[in-house]
Amino acid sequence: LLQAIPSADIELAFSGGKDSSVILKLVQMAGIKFTPIYKNTTIDPSGNIQFCKSMGCIITPPHKTFFELVQERGFPTRRARFCCEVLKEYKIKDYVIIGVRKAESTARAKRYNEPEICRVYGNKGKKKADGSNYCKQYLPIVNWTDEDVKEFIEKYDVKCNPLYYVDGKFDVTMRLGCICCPLQRIKKQQADFLANPRMVRLYI
């Protein structure tokens, strides 16, 4: 799949999560040219940007910070996650490799059924005449389970974000993401606030 991508100008969408580390290793093993890119959301966990830099990523700044969006549109909710659209879901290159897995959620299991998909950004899914909002996405681990991910990481000694290690033990069930994401359970949001008091002040 990866070696069949018809371009040498490929983005590897790197978030700092375990799946990103896995696809980075897979692409290196495939021997193709690529550029790892981290889209800065301005509300990712402490240390995440440093980890992404250590993995060779280019850090792209957002057009607007999370709190600038909040000032304009209010806080995002489970039904209105405009923050993802602005901070994460925008095109950089025509070809992009991403670490999405169906096992992550029911919604993703319904949405992603093929290892290669077309994606149109903005304009409610309408493709622009010049193709500037259109890209081809490749999902090399779309059908992998948590156990598949853990086995691969252990077998190939994949470097993962230090946030996945609790008392020195790797936790494959842990998911990294934006601090206090509305999709998180209340207990996780509370834990985020406790660990990030500066974020509490910004929210207030």
List, for residues 25-63, the tens digit of each pLDDT value.
Answer: 999 999 999 999 999 999 988 899 999 999 999 999 999
Q: Scanning the structure block, which residue is given the tokens 């021997």?
A: 31
Q: Scanning the structure block, which residue is given the tokens 């086995």?
A: 151
38, 15 contact by CB (below 8 A) = yes
Q: What would the pLDDT profile of 95-144 be if each residue is shown by its tens digit?
A: 999 999 999 888 888 888 889 999 988 877 788 888 889 999 999 999 99
Share of the chain above pLDDT 70, in %: 100
Give the span between the Cα atoms of 93 and 165, in whole angstroms.
32
Give the span between the Cα atoms of 52 and 17, in whole angstroms.
9
Instruction: Give the sign of the dihedral formed by CA 59, CA 37, CA 175, CA 173.
Output: negative
Which residues are 118's β-sheet partners? 136
